[in-house]
Structure 1
Amino acid sequence: MVLGQDSKECLVSVLHSELLQGVCRQMTYSDDLPQISVVFIFVNEALSVILRSVHSVVNHTPSQLLKEVILVDDNSDNVELKLNLDQYVSKRYPGLVKIVRNSRREGLIRARLQGWKVATAPVVGFFDAHVEFSTGWAEPALTRIREDRRRIVLPAIDNIKYDTFEVQQYASAAHGYNWGLWCMYIVPPQDWLDRGDEAAPIRTPAMIGCSFVVDREYFGDIGLLDPGMEVYGGENIELGMRVRNSKASGYCLDQGAEDDDRAILYPCHGMSSQLVRYSAEGLLQLGPLGSTAFLPDSKCLVDDGRGRTPALKKCEDVARPAQRLWDFTQGGPIVSRDTGRCLEVEMSKDANFGLRLVVQRCSGQKWTIRNWIKPGRH
C-alpha cells in the first residue's frame, strides 16, 4: 500500500475502517508478528488532536503488538502541552506512552531520530501527531516487514476534513517526484493495475514522510534520515534513495554455477564460492584463497565493456589485463579501472532473489568485505 496526503488539510486518517476494501476485511495474519513502537512528532499541536491520535492508535492496535507510544515534543511553548499532557498520559496509559522533550527546536528530521533512539520494539512507525488509525492498520504493515526486513511500508492515507471530520477517500497511487524534487502522486505501475487487487502493495520510488513503518535495525543500517536535512520535504526523496542503494544488504558476491562465467548475488554463507581476494594490484578474485596469485578454482571479476553483465574468467585468460582491474576501498564502490563503471545491484524479476549484478554508471552503491585476512609477518 502507498502513502497519500493532502497537505492543506489538518487531519489525516490511516486506513479508516469505513473505507477498507472487502478483501482487506477477509485477510488473516500470523499470531507472532513483531511488536511496534509508534512515534508521534509535534510542536505546539493542539492537545486535543494529539490525544485523538494517541487514543486512536491505542484503541485500534492489538495490545500484544503495540510495545509503546512515544511522543516527541520538539520544544513546544504551549503550556497545555507540558504538565497537562504529562499528567494525562501517565494516569491514562502508565508505562505505555512515553514523552521525549527536546530542549531546543530540532526540526522534524532530528525529532524523528530522537524517537528512534528511544524506541525499543523491533519495528518503528513514524507519524505526524494529527492522524487517526482504524482497526487492522498494523497487521498488514508488520506482515510485510516480517516477510522482508528491508521493506519500508507506507500505509494508504485518506483525508479527514478539518471542519467536519468527514473521511474523504483517496484513490490508490504511487509516489514520484518532479524536477523540483517535490513529491507527487503518480499512477500505479501497470502490473499492479492489471492484477485488479486494490489490497496488493504498490512499489513506489518516493514517499510522503508523515507516515512510514520500518524495521528498527534496518533503518539504522541504511543510515536513518540525514540529521542535517533542513529542506522541507527532503526526506521524501532521501529515504527512497537510501533504500535503493542498500537493496542487496545480506547478499554476497558469489561464483555461482561452475559452468557459468557470470558472477551472481547469493545470500551470504561464507563458503569458498563467496571468498574474495582483493589484491594490491586491483584484482578481484572469487574462490579458494591461497598464497599464489592464480589458483586453479579461482576466477577474476571482469568488465569487458561490451554489456552490463560482469564476467568471471580465469585471470590468465582475460584478453586485456586492464579489464580485470578494479578500484575498491572498504565501504565504498567497486569501480572498473578500464571502463569507469561500477559493480552494482539492480532489481530484476528474472534474477535469483530478484536481484541482478550489473556494471553501469556509478550511482553510489557501496560494498563491504566482512572479514579481512591480514598477511602474516615475515
Structure 2
Amino acid sequence: MVSYRCLLKTYSSQLPSLSVILIFMNEALSIILRAITSIINRTPSRLLKEIILVDDFSSNEELKAYLEEKIKLYNQKYPGLLKIIRHTERKGLAQARNAGREAATADVVAILDAHIEVNVGWAEPILARIQEDRTVIVSPVFDNIRFDTFELTKYELAVDGFNWELWCRYDPLPKAWIDLHDVTAPVKSPSIMGILAANRLFLGEIGSLDGGMLVYGGENVELSLRVWQCGGRIEVLPCCRVAHLERHHKPYALDLSLVLKRNALRVAEIWMDEYKDMVYFAWNIPLQNSGIDYGDISSRMALRGKLKCQSFDWYLKNVYPILKPIHNIVGYGRLKNSLDENVCLDQGPISDNTPIMYHCHEYNTQNVYYHLTGEFYVGPLIAEAYTDDRCLTDPGYGEKAMLKPCSKAAKNNLHIYWDFKPVSDVILKDRAQGAAGSRGKTRAALLSPSMNRVPSIARGIQGRAVINRATKRCLEMKKDTSGVYRLVLQTCTSQVWTIQYTVRNWGSN
C-alpha cells in the first residue's frame, strides 16, 4: 500500500525518539492488541521509546485485569515499553489525548486511536519531517479496515479539511503540490482528521488540545486552526500510511449531535472572529441566546493573545481559500407557511431537484438561507469554491419550483431572485394597480376584511410573501386531492411565510 517511491527514500540514522499514544474507551481488546503489535513490528526499536495506553474510563471487563496481564507479557519481552493511564471518570477525547502527551517522554508524540494498524515505514517520515521543522503537525494518509471483514481498502491521497459545521472531510490535492511532481513530498493541509504527530514540546507550547472540548468531535479542527493561526503548519505525509478500523458505531454516544454543536460553537467563538456566524448558520443555531453552553473560553482567548495568533480571515486567505464565507445572509432556518406550520420547506430527493413541503424536523435538508441579494439556498450550507449551494428557482412555467446550482443558474439567467416582502405590501400594490374605482377608499378598507385575520403580519415583521422578481409569481402551498399540502408557484394570494431566524434585526421594520 506504500508507494515504491516512498520505499526508496532513506533517512538519517539520528532521528528523534517516538512516543506512541493510543486512546481507547470500550474498544475490543483484540483490536487494541492488533494496534500494539503492528506498532512494535513496524517501528524500529531504536526509535520507539514507549507506547502509552490511555483508558478513558472503559466499562468492558476485558479491558481491566485481562489487559493488565497482556501489558505485563509485552513488557517481559520489551522491558518498560508499555504504560497505561486509566481515567477514574470519562473525560472525553481531548483530555485523554492530553493525558497521554503529558505522560510522554520522547521527542515526538504520535497520538493515535487504538483501532488502527500502522504500515511498514510509517514512523521514519514523521520523525524526519518534524526533525526538519519542529512547528509542523503531521498527519498520515489513512487507509480503511472494514469492521466486519477486516478487509483493507487503500484510500487515495487527499488533504484534510472541514465544512462550516466543522465536520472533517477530504479535499482535493493543491495544485502547488501536484506541480512538484514528487509523490513523496509533504502536502500542505488545512486541518487534520484527528490522528497526528508533533514535537512534544511544541505541542505543549501552543496549548496541546483544548480540554474544554467535550466527549468527541471538533477537537481536530480546533487544534488545526490554532496551529496555523499561531505560527505552525499542518502537513499530510504521503509516505506515512495508517489503516483505520471503520467502526459500526461511536463508543462515546449513539447521538453526538448536541456535543458536536456545542464544540463547534466553542471553536467558532475562540478562533473564527466575524466568520463565526457561518457555524451558527450551518448548525441552524440562533446568533443570540443560542441556549448552548460552550464553556469558559477565557483561558483559550488569553492563549491566543499570548501566542500573537493570526485572524481567521488570514487563515481563509492563506491556508483554506476554498472554504467560502457568505456575508449577506439575512434570514435562515426553517421556512414555514401560515396555512400549516407543521410542515417546512425541504430540499426533497436530490435527484428530483424539486423542493417539497415535508413534516418539520431538525435535519439540514430543511435548512433555508435567504440572502439580501434575493437568493434562497435550500439544504445543507455548502459555501465552497468548487461545489454549489442550490438555489430556489422559478422555471417560468408550470407550478413546480426547482433547485438549481446557484452559480450556473445565475450564469444562465434563471429566475433565482426573490423578494421576501410583508404580505400587506404585495396586496396593497396589487390592489392599487387594479382598483381604479376604489381611490376613495381608506387604507383600512383596502385591508379588510381579508387582512383582518393577520394584523400582526400586516405590520410586516416575519409574515412575508415569497415573490419571484422576474416572473412575479409567489411561492405558495395548496392541498392536493389527498389533502396534503404541496408547494406551488402561482399568482400571489395572501399566503405568508416565516423564516426561523433573522440576522441583526433584518425585517423588523
Paired position in structure 2 for 1:126:
111
Contact 1:39–1:127 (CA under 8 A) maintained in structure 2: yes
- Give 1:277's aligned residue: none
Unaligned runs of 5+ in 1: 1-18, 250-328, 336-340, 349-378
The residue that corresponds to 1:139 in the other structure is 124
Alpha-carbon separation, structure 1, partners of 2:137 and 2:226? 11
Paired residue for 1:61?
43
- Secondary structure of the corresponding residue to residue 236 of structure 1: helix
Residues 53-91 of structure 1 deviation map (CA, whole Å, 9 limit, x = unaligned) = 001101110001000000001111111111111111112
Would the alpha carbon gap of residues 186 and 334 (structure 1) be closer, same or farther in structure 2, given more than 3 Å must change? closer
Distance 1:104 1:224 in 2: 21
- The answer as to whether partners of 1:176 and 1:186 remain within 8 angstroms in 2 is yes
Matched, 1:225 2:209: yes
Question: Percent identity of the aligned residues?
Answer: 47
Deviation at 1:346, TM superposition (A): 11
In the alignment, what sits opposite 1:176? 161
- In structure 1, C-alpha distance between the alignment counterparts of 2:56 and 2:219, rounded to whole Å: 18
Distance of aligned partners of 1:332 and 1:191 in 2 relative to their CA distance in 1, 3 Å threshold:
closer
Residue 331 (1) aligns with residue 306 (2): yes
Match of 2:228 in 1: 244
Greater Rg over alpha carbons, structure: 2
2-side partners of 1:87 and 1:330: how far apart? 47
Alignment of 1:38-57 (within 5 A): 38-57=20-39
Distance 2:305 2:115 in 1: 43
Contact 1:68 1:96 in 2 (8 A): yes
CA distance in 2, matches of 1:130, 1:32: 30
CA contact (8 A) 1:41 1:74 kept: yes
Residue 213 of structure 1 pairs with residue 197 of structure 2: yes
1:134 deviates by 2.0
Distance (whole Å) between structure 1 residues aligned to residue 110 and residue 71 of structure 2:
19
Alignment of 1:1-378 (within 5 A): 19-93=1-75, 94-209=79-194, 211-230=195-214, 232-247=216-231, 331=306
CA 1:206–1:47: 2 relative to 1, 3 Å:
same
CA deviations 1:195-228 (Å, max 9, x no partner) are 232222110011111x110000000010111101
Deviation at 1:332, TM superposition (A): 7.0
Please say if residues 109 and 197 of structure 2, whose CA atoms lie closer than 8 Å, have aligned partners that are also in contact.
yes
Closer, same or farther in 2 for the Cα pair 1:176/1:334, shift >3 Å? closer
> Across the two proteins, how many residue pairs are aligned to each other?
245
**Residue 232 (structure 1) shift:** 3.4
- Return the letter of the residue paired with 2:222: E
- C-alpha contact (below 8 Å) 1:68/1:97 kept by paired residues: yes
CA deviations on 1:5-48 (whole Å, 9 max, x unpaired) are xxxxxxxxxxxxxx111101101000010011000011111110
State whether residues 35 and 67 of structure 1, in contact with CA within 8 Å, keep that contact through their aligned partners in structure 2: yes
State how far apart, in whole Å, the 2-side matches of 1:69 and 1:191 are.
36
The normalised TM-score by structure 1 is 0.61
- The change in CA–CA distance for 1:330 and 1:30 in structure 2 (over 3 A counts) is same
* Letter of the structure 2 residue corresponding to residue 196 of structure 1: H
Give the whole-Å Cα distance in 2 for the aligned partners of 1:334 and 1:59.
40
Deviations 1:95-122 (A, max 9, x none): 1000110011111110111111110101
Amino acid in the other structure paired with 2:151: E
Output the aligned Cα RMSD.
2.7
Give the distance between the partners of 2:315 and 2:193, measured in 1 at CA. 25
Helix, strand or coil for the counterpart of 1:154?
strand
